[in-house]
Structure 1
C-alpha cells in the first residue's frame, strides 16, 4: 500500500475499523497527524482538508500488533528494518524474555547457552541496561520496544563462571542493584527462565530478593519461562504466583504450553489454575499458534518430542534444517554422542498438542507472542508468521476466534497488561501505531521447511505515524521508540 512515509497529516479512508478493544468492526475513517491519531471519523466526513488520503476500502484498519514475547533485543540493532515483524503487522516488541536480555552482560564475558540465542557475541557490548536502551534510542528500529531485564543475564553479570549453584547474598545484592538501575531507566520488569542452565539452580527466594526493587512500583511485570512445562507444571505455576505476589508484580506465563504426550490435554487444568489465581493477583499469559517450540538443543526435549528439527549447529553445520532422527540413523550414535557432535546447537521440538494450543490461544487472558529466535539460520516459522497465522488459520479458516477477539489479543489486551497508556487502541490522542490488512487474503507463508518468508495480505504498517511497511517491502523509515512505563 503505497503512501508517503512521513506526511504531516494522513487520512486513512474507507476501511473497516477494528479498534483493539474487542468491540465489533465498524466503518470509519482515521486521521493521523504527526505521531498521533487526530480523529476517528464517520465514513466520508474527513474528506476536506490539507492532508494526504489513502484509500483502504475493503481492508481492515487495526492498531499495530504487539508481540508480547520476543528475543529481538539484538535484532533491533543489527536489523533495524525488522522485516520479520513489520511484514506481519507488528509495531511493538517485548524484549528480554525467558530470563535472557542483551544487557547487563559484561563485554567479553563467556556466554552460556541460551544467551547465545539472542545473537552473536559482539552484540553483547553493554555492561549496563541503560546503555543498551540508549543505543536503541541513538539508532532507532522500525518498531517500538518494551524492555524487560533477564534474570539469567543478571546472574552472568554478577556471579563468577560457576552458575550451577544458588547465588550468594552478596551476589543477589549486586543483581538487585543492576535491576534497580534498569527499572530507574524505564524497564518494565524482570523475566526469568529457571528452565535453563544459567538459572535452574536459582531458588525462589533468590528471585524474590533480586526482584525487591520492583516492589512499590506501579505496573511491574514478572514474565516467566516456568521451571517446568511438563510433568511438574503445577508446582512451577505456583512458584511463579508466589514470586508475583511477593514482588507485587503482574505474572506473565510465557509461551504457556504442556510438553510431552503424557501431558496433552492438561491445559484444561492449568488454565483453570490461572483463572483461580487471577481472582487474587494480576496474571496473564502469552502463546503462539504452533504445536512446536524452539530453543537450545537439549536431550530432555528430544526425548519428549515426537520430532526434532535442527535449527543450527556449530558442531555440525551441515545438520541445519535436518531431522534429528534421520541424522541419528545416518551416524549411528546414541543421544549423548549426538549432543556432543552437534553442540552447541538449537532445535525445534514438536511436543505440544494442537488442541492444547488452540485452547490456550482462545483463553481470554492470552496475548500473542511469537517467541522467535531471529538469528537462527533455520528458524522456527513463528518468527515470520505468528500473527498472520492467527488471522488466517484461527480466525478465517477455523472460526476459533472472531476477528475482533484476535485483534484484541494482539493489541488492546497486550497494551493493558504492559501498562501502555496510549497504544493498543484506535482512539483520538493515542499514538498512531497502525496496520492495514486484507482479511480475505492475509496469510502466513513461513513453514518449518522454508521458514524465512514474509506473510501476504499485510498492506500497510505505521509506527508513530510513519509508514514502515508498504505491503511488499520496508520503507526505510525507523520511527520506533523505547517505550516507557
Structure 2
C-alpha cells in the first residue's frame, strides 16, 4: 500500500496515558491510516525515528492568539514547540462579536494584546473572523470560544451597569449566533472590564445557551488571590452546575508569594475534586512557570477602569481620583484582585509597551525603575499607564514552584500557554509562548521526575482533545487526524528565558499538521496546513 508518509521505528506515546510502544505509522490524506509493529507499504517520504518519541500534536488549551493569527511573523512560533492546535478566545476576550456601534472601542481595547500592530477590524461575527483568518493562512488548527466580555462590549460598550432586558436579549443572540457558527463554548474573564461588572446571573444565562449546543464554560475566575479564590471558585462551580455546562478553570493558581498564599492551591484542588465527586465535570489548565503575564492595567481597581483606557488614564490624571486609586491599592485586599499587595512592585516587570515608549523599562521591575528615577513605584505605575494609554503588558512573579507543580502534575490539569503574542523586535514577552510544552517534558519529566512522560503527553493531547470534544485529535490512533510531533526525549527542553524569551526549544525534530510536514529540525517548512475546527456532536463527559 502506498502512503504519503511512513514513520518507522518510532516509540509511540498515544495520548491515553498508557505505556509507550514501538510501532510504525502510515499517513494518508491527512489521516493516520495504519499503525503496525512493522508496516508494509511504501512512501516517497519515509522517516527513520529510531530513538525518537512520536506523539499526537500538542494542544494549547489556553491561547490568546486571536489577533496574532492575522499578523505576519507571529503565526508559527508555537509550531516550533509542537503545538498543532490552539484553543483561542480565552478570558472573556474574543475577536468577535464586534458591533458597529462599539467597533472603535473594541479596537482600542485590544491594542494592548498586540502592541504596535494595526488591524482593520472589518468583521463582526465568528464566521467573518474565521474567513479573515483562513484567508491569511493558518499555521495551526484553531478551536474558537466566544468571549463573554466581548459579547458584553458588543451590546453595552464599557458600561459598568447591569444589562436591561433588551440588552440581555441582544447578548443572548450574539452567543447563540456564535455557537451556531462554530464556537466550542463561552469563556469569561471576570477580573477584566467590562466582564468584571457582570453578576453571576448574567454569565449563567449565557451559559444556558451554550449548554443547548453541547458547549463548555471556560473561566478566568473572579479572583485568584488568597482572599478571593474561595468565593470565585464557588461562583464558577455554581454557574456550571446550574447551567449544565462542563467547567474548565483557566490557569489555576493562587496568586501571591506571601506565607498566607503558599500551599493554598492544594485546598482549591480538593474542592474541585469534591465537585467532581458530586457529578460535575470540572478540569483546569496551567502552565509550567511561576510567573504570569497580563495587562498592566490589571493592577488598578476595577472602578477606576470604567470608561476603558480613556477612562483609566483620565482618572489617573485627576489628582483626587489618583489619590483614591492609590489608597485602594495600599489598603484594599478583599473587594478586588490586589496583585501589588500579593506580589509587590519588585515582582512586577514591564513586558511590552504599546506605544514603543522608553524601551529601557522593558524587562525591568517597577521598583528598580522607581529607584532609578527617584520616584515612588506607585507613581511610576500610574505614569506608565498614562503614557501607554493603558496598553502595556506586565510579567510578574505570582507563585512558588512547589505550588505551580501541585497543579501541573494533577491528573485533572491540561497544559496551556496563556501567552500574549508580541511582535518580533518588541518587548520581552513571557517565555511560555515559546517554551511551555518542551519545558514540561524536559524540566519536569526528564530532570525533576515530577510526572511520567506518558502522563505529561496525556495532559497535552488526549485529555485536552476530550475536554473540548475534538474526537479526531489528541490520540495516535488509526483514523485520527495526522497531527504529530517527533521529539528526542533525551534532548527536549525549552530554550526561552525571561531575558531571551524568543529562543526556540531543543529536541523537537518534526511536526506534522494534518499530515503535512510543517517543522523539520526547528525550521518551519509549511505555514498554511492548519484549519478552523468545528464542534462535533455527541461530546462525552471527561
TM over 0.5, yes or no?
A: yes
Aligned residue runs from structure 1 range 131-280, under 5 A: 131-160=128-157, 162-218=158-214, 220-230=215-225, 231-260=227-256, 261=258, 262-279=260-277, 280=279
SS in 2 for 1:325: helix
* Rounded Cα–Cα distance in structure 2 between residues aligned with 1:62 and 1:23: 12
Q: Which one of 69, 76, 85 corresponds to residue 92 of structure 1?
A: 85
Q: Which one of 490, 495, 503 corresponds to residue 453 of structure 1?
A: 503
Superposed CA RMSD? 1.8
1:224–1:252 Cα contact (<8 Å) kept: yes
* Rounded Cα–Cα distance in structure 2 between residues aligned with 1:403 and 1:59: 13
Aligned length: 475
* Rounded Cα–Cα distance in structure 1 between residues aligned with 2:286 and 2:436: 10
1:256–1:285 Cα contact (<8 Å) kept: yes
Instruction: Report how far residue 301 of structure 1 moved.
Output: 2.2
SS in 2 for 1:109: helix
Instruction: Report how far residue 332 of structure 1 moved.
Output: 2.8
CA, structure 1 residues 317+302, in 2 after alignment: closer, same or farther (shift >3 Å)? farther
What does residue 419 of structure 2 align with?
A: 372
**Structure 1 gap segments, 5+ residues each:** 1-6
What does residue 352 of structure 1 align with?
A: 399
1:434–1:462 Cα contact (<8 Å) kept: yes
- 367-376 or 385-394: bigger deviation: 367-376
1:429 aligns with 2:426: no
What does residue 340 of structure 1 align with?
A: 382
* Rounded Cα–Cα distance in structure 1 between residues aligned with 2:507 and 2:16: 22
What does residue 330 of structure 1 align with?
A: 372
* Rounded Cα–Cα distance in structure 2 between residues aligned with 1:457 and 1:182: 39
What does residue 309 of structure 2 align with?
A: none
* Rounded Cα–Cα distance in structure 2 between residues aligned with 1:129 and 1:121: 20
TM-score calculated relative to the size of structure 2:
0.84
SS in 2 for 1:309: strand
CA, structure 1 residues 242+84, in 2 after alignment: closer, same or farther (shift >3 Å)? same
**Structure 2 gap segments, 5+ residues each:** 300-337, 536-542
Instruction: Report how far residue 333 of structure 1 moved.
Output: 2.7
Q: Which one of 305, 308, 312 corresponds to residue 348 of structure 2?
A: 308
What does residue 292 of structure 2 align with?
A: 293
What does residue 393 of structure 1 align with?
A: 443
- 289-298 or 338-347: bigger deviation: 338-347
Instruction: Report how far residue 410 of structure 1 moved.
Output: 0.2
Instruction: Report how far residue 106 of structure 1 moved.
Output: 3.8
Instruction: Report how far residue 476 of structure 1 moved.
Output: 3.0
CA, structure 1 residues 121+52, in 2 after alignment: closer, same or farther (shift >3 Å)? closer
Q: Which one of 338, 362, 382 corresponds to residue 409 of structure 2?
A: 362
1:25 aligns with 2:20: yes
TM-score calculated relative to the size of structure 1:
0.94
Instruction: Report how far residue 248 of structure 1 moved.
Output: 1.4
1:466–1:477 Cα contact (<8 Å) kept: no
SS in 2 for 1:212: helix
